[in-house]
Amino acid sequence: MTADITPQIQEQLNLSALLLKKNYNTADLSTWSGFNSEDQMQVKQAKRLLKLNGITSGLHLRNSLQRYQSGQMVSHTFSKLAAEFRMDTTTSFDAKYNAQEHPRLKHNYKMVWKYRFTLKEHLLIGYELSYYIYLMRLATVVGFIGTDELLLRMEDANETIKSTFSSWGAFHRNVCLGDEFVLGATEQDNSKFPGSKTLWEHYQRLYVKHADWFKTWNK
Amino acid sequence: MSVIFKTKIDATINTNALNPSEAKALATTLELLNYQDTETYTRTKNSLTNQSTTPVFTNALAQKLYYHPEIYADQTQGLEFVASWFPLVDNAYYPDKKSSELLVTFLKFSLSLFTSNTITEQLKTRVFDVIKLLVHSPSAASVPLTQFLIDTVFDTRDSNSSAFIVKQCLKHDILNGLYYVCDKNQTYTAHYFTIQQSFVNHFQEGNWEALITKIHNIIPVGKPQKPGAYNLVAAWFSFDLAQFYVTNLEFTTAALRAIKERFLFIEDHCTALLHIKTTEGLYPLIKTLGSKTWDSGDVLVFSTLDTHIPQSQVDACYLRFLDWLTVDGSSNFYTEAFKDHGNTILSNSNTATLPAECIPFWFEKCHPKTGVVSQTEAYNTLFYKLLIENTKHTLPTLRLDHSDFQITGEFLITTVFQIQHNLKAWLEPFKTSGIENPLNQFLVLAFYDAREALLTLYNEADCEVLQTYALALAHTATEASDTIKTNNLPLLVSILSTLCVQSGNYTRVNEIWALKNIDPVIIDQCNTFAQSHYINIETPLHLNVIQAWYNFLGDYYYSLTTEAVWVSDMLKTQGLRTGLYFNSLEDDTTFFLNKAINRIVHFHKKSKQKQVQNSVFTMIASQIETYLADVLEILKKDKLDQNTVQFLQNYSCDETFGFKNNTTLSTIIQSCYSFHFKEAPTPEINILREHGQLSKIDTKDIPIDQTTITTVLHNLEHYKTEGVCETTLLQVLHTKIDALKSWLSQNDSGIETQYIQALYMTLLDPDLAPETPLETYGNLCRQLFVQLAKGSDMAMSYALGLKAMAHSGAYADPLKTTLLQVVTDLNT
């Protein structure tokens, strides 16, 4: 990485800190990517994470970014359901809820129902843009994207996030909700993924370790 | 000189029986023998009276000198005797037939002694010096001696004697060159030691078969690294022998067998025999080699073949070689013959010698699923070198049906692999083995070569299969070496570009485009390909294509124009096309256009903000301006909604970012803005209207809008109670009747009926009748009524109603006349 990380850039990078920590616990948050590109094991891990997101080239990356940025990834689904549920009564919602069989869909229904009014405006763009930055940081490890582009894109994302939310707390709540909406409420099974933590755990740790990062919300 | 002559022969010569010429010859021979001190010499010399007598060496004299069976009784002495002939023979005093035959008989008899160590090398040499002279001279001894030598050479039962004679003949260069045959006229004719009819007649009683069989028998005989009988006879090979082989092909098999045996036993090649050829240049042995079933020996033979043989005669051998490698479950691969020789044959071959059949052979042996694993590497290395390495993106020229044949992709598909109809199953195993497999590299070459024909050879489903295959291969190149990348990736992209011609499949287009990340060598190719699909003026535009343009505009901007490079062209050239496309749409696209313009302007603004940092941003901004100007210039003005136009106008006038410096664009936006807002009230008019100060407004500036229309309606319905008979607005409606009509017709809330009804009521109001103070208001109402009601569905009913009311007698004359006038106006 060529450019230095100024406090301003660090603040923008921090918008993805939570997701980065969740997906890669040992990430160094004060670097561009969080990964050490000298270490082949770490590069491999970054590649694995990218592949998990279906990203195998710069073009794939940019397609993904476009979809996260425009809300097609999560918010569109959410807003469609929410609009429908806002017209429903408790009874009619229950009927719809019970008609679903897939636990994942049931979970989604429940979440949308719960937040159909509160998230009407902001949807899950906090989560999506956080993911947007997270993906870009991963992609820098394998060179799908350069620092200049990362900065330009992050700047725009930052503007949107800052104008949408009023505090780190509000923003991170949106990230957590988005994560829950996408992955389901179920906590990861520690027996299957030893050492993994829930997003909530990461959230707490993050605020303990980097308390000063998340105090002021600079618009 | 030997004493034998003095002691044994001198006494036997009876000079008296000699005529003078014989005596002279005898004297000469004795001089040659250096026997001037003998009695015979003196006697002979004295008997010669006439010095000019011509010496004649007669048979009788010859027998006196050479025919001495008693001397031969002692073998050693006999050999010594023969050796002593040298000076005579050297001077052309040859033995006669009788003595020659005796000599041969003696030699046959004493051969075992002759070969033994008892006889000194020196004596052996001397004897053979004489034999050589006799064989190669016009003497009666030439034929019988030669016959003796040849018979001994061919006598494989007595290998000791045979080897001895062979050795001596080679040493003294005997049986090579000329021999002499005496004909009926007692004249000698010279013949070469070459296998031809005369030779066979002289030494084998004209029996070719016997001679050839004998030759075959001696070929494998000898000692390693030492010259043998073969070397002796090799000098005799001739065109006639080749011709014999041609006409008697069964002998070629025996010849080949002999050659192989020679190779096995004494590790020596028989190049001369193998390469024997007729005057027409036909190689009979090679022809047979190419038509028989091979064993290891044939491989050895093949490996020694000369490179100058016409390729058409060797072609079959290559095929037999491949057969040999295929039979018995390919087990011949593991033989010494292949390791030591077969390998060399292949690696020393080139495309000019290899048959086209080696392609299916290679694919069979190295097939990822069914191939022979232990052989794959060796064959892959070999054939990679031969068929791929230096080809520069073309298929090789190989041998097919005895001629050079440029292999084409189509030929491979239809004839060699026969994969027109089973492509998917056939390709599947190759797909997984990756581009590093030479077979795949060859397939890439093949498909690349056939790329134009692929679309006709394959249906859509198969083309799809091919594309998946090519994409999978391209991705495996990520881990491959640079050479493999540079050699294969451009071909793969070309294949894909050719196959992916149908427009609209943008998922596939993107997949192919994304390959550019694998290696810089294909970046341009991939970008050009993507551009050809995203900006394809041959196909009609579609909304999702335009949407894609705007999406990629983001990548273009964020990446500082390094990604989605074709966006640059799109911005520069596609503006007019975009505008025309939207004009042609009947659907309402204002929402889409609003979003699009917002996005475009967003990036324009961003670029303007950043242009100080990097001049690239200036370029992006100007490209965006070009595009916008093109679109808006051609786009029908009603395609945009007012919000969008307002947004554009506001942005255009923005001091920091706007289009102030781009007069073309700002003029277009201005005119667009004027179109949408020319009838819209300026803020001042609204304020004046709100305060009822209409007199301060020029009537022309009062727009036909909701406010005006509802105000008038309210007035019409309530003038009686409120006492306000406002004429200004009525006048406005009257002058702008067309605008009013269109406004009312677009409004489906029933306001039109309401309007006509209210006006109808004013007609019947005596307070508004002519010659009253409110006559002006009444007149305007009447005129407006006629304008609105005329031609409508209700016109007839209103006319009838008014007529009835006019004649009812309830109204005074002026009003009655006026009403009837209205009826007339309605009806005309």
d(CA B195, CA A187): 99
Tell me if B439 is assigned to some domain: yes
Asked, for residue B798, whether it belongs to a domain, the answer is yes
Q: Which of A62, A72, A73, A136 to mutate: most B Cβ within 10 Å?
A: A62
Beta strand extents in B98-228 (DSSP E only): 178-182, 188-192
| Residue B402 included in any domain | no
* Mean of all residue pLDDT scores within chain A: 85
Of A85-99, B18-32, B147-161, B401-415, the one with minimum mean pLDDT is B18-32
- Same structural domain, B571 and B492: no
Which residue among B481, B506, B534 closes a domain?
Answer: B534
H or E element, residue A173: helix A168-183
Those residues with Cβ within 8 angstroms of residue A80's Cβ, 6 or more apart along the chain or in another chain: none
pLDDT at B594 over 60: yes
Which of B492, B510, B534 terminates a domain? The answer is B534
Inter-residue contact A141 to A35 (CB < 8 Å) = yes
- What pLDDT does B1 receive? 44
B643 pLDDT more than 50 = yes
Specify whether B574 is located in the same domain as B663: yes
pLDDT at B585 over 70: yes
d(CA B56, CA A147): 117
Instruction: Please give the pLDDT value at position A186.
Output: 58
Do the domain assignments include residue B188? no
pLDDT tens-digit readout, B253-264: 888 888 888 888
Q: How confident is the model at residue A128 (pLDDT cuts 50, 70, 90)?
A: very high
Picking from B19, B88, B84, B11, the residue whose alpha carbon sits closest to that of residue B55 is B19
Instruction: Compute the Cα dihedral for B551, B553, B559, B563 and give only its sign.
Output: positive
Separation of alpha carbons B493 and B515, rounded Å: 8
Residue A47 has pLDDT above 60, yes or no: yes
* Subunit contact B558:A144, Cβ cutoff 8 A: no
Instruction: Say if residues B281 and B239 touch (Cβ distance below 8 Å).
Output: no
Is residue B699 pLDDT above 70, yes or no? no
Of B678, B709, B727, which one is at a domain's C-terminal end?
B678
Give the pLDDT confidence score for residue A129 in this predicted structure.
Answer: 92
Token pair 């983001």 in the structure block, residue = B554
A&B contacts, CB < 8 Å: 44
Interface with B, mutate which of A43, A57, A64 (most B CBs under 10 A): A57
Tell me which residue in A63, A146, A156 faces B510 most closely, judged by beta carbons: A63
Contacts of B516 in chain A (CB under 8 A): 57-59
Say if B28 falls within a structural domain.
no
Residue A133 has pLDDT above 90, yes or no: yes
Residue B613: pLDDT over 90 = no
According to the model, what pLDDT value does residue B455 have? Answer: 87
* Claim to verify: residue B543 and residue B652 sit in the same structural domain: yes
B642 and B735 housed in the same domain: no
Q: Rank A133-142, B62-71, B151-160 by mean pLDDT and report only the highest.
A: A133-142
Q: How far is CA B508 from CA B503, B515, B547, in A?
A: 10, 11, 17
DSSP B418-473: --SS-HHHHHHHHHHH-TTSHHHHHHHHHHHHTHHHHHHHS-HHHHHHHHHHHHHH
DSSP state of B414: I
CB contact under 8 A, A59 and B554: no
What confidence score (pLDDT) does residue A134 get? 92
Q: Residue B480's Cα: distance from chain center in Å?
A: 20
Closest CA of chain A from B556, distance in Å: 10
Contact A198, A187 (CB under 8 A): yes
B761 located within any domain? yes
Between A146-155, B600-609, B704-713, the lowest mean confidence (pLDDT) is in: B704-713
Predicted local confidence at residue B695, as pLDDT: 60
What percentage of chain B has pLDDT greater than the value 90?
Answer: 3
pLDDT digits (tens, 9 = 90+) for A182-215: 887 655 555 666 556 677 788 888 888 888 888 8
Verify that B574 and B614 share a domain, yes or no: yes
Would you call B514 and A60 a contact, using CB atoms and an 8 Å cutoff? yes
Radius of gyration from C-alpha coordinates of chain B? 59
For the stretch B431-472, pLDDT in tens is 888 888 889 999 998 999 988 888 888 888 888 889 999 999
In B, which residues are within 8 Å of A69 by CB distance? Answer: 554
The mean pLDDT value of chain B amounts to 84
Full residue range of the structural domain in which residue B729 is found: 697-827
Per-residue pLDDT at B690: 59
Could you tell me which residue, B358 or B678, shows the higher pLDDT? B358
| In chain B, residues 577-606 whose CB comes closer than 8 Å to chain A | 606
Do B559 and B457 lie in a common domain? no
> Residue A132's pLDDT is what?
93
Pair B512, B555 in one domain: no
Rounded to whole angstroms, the Cα distance separating B600 from B648 reads 11
Higher-pLDDT residue of B680 and B727 is B727
Is B756 part of a structural domain of the chain? Answer: yes
Q: Of B393-407, B665-679, B732-746, B755-769, which has the strongest mean pLDDT?
A: B393-407
Is the domain of B643 the same as that of B772? no
Same domain? For B560 and B629 the reply is: yes
pLDDT class of A1 with cuts at 50, 70, 90: very low
B317 domain-assigned: no
First and final C-alpha spacing in chain B: 166
Smallest CA-to-CA distance from B751 within B790, B800, B712 is with B712
State the pLDDT at residue A89.
85
pTM of the shown model:
0.72
What are the two backbone dihedrals, phi and then psi, of residue B503, each rounded to the nearest 5 degrees? -80, 160
pLDDT tens by residue, A166-183: 888 888 889 888 888 888
C-alpha R_g of chain A: 18
The count of structural domains within chain B is 3
For chain A, say whether B475 makes contact (Cβ under 8 Å).
yes
- For residue B760, the distance in angstroms to the closest alpha carbon of chain A comes to 46
- Do B506 and B556 fall within a single domain? no
Per-residue burial over B184-202, b if 16 or more Cβ lie within 10 Å, else e, is eeeebeebebebbeebbeb
- If asked whether residues B788 and B725 sit together in one domain, one would say yes
Q: Do B551 and B636 fall within a single domain?
A: yes
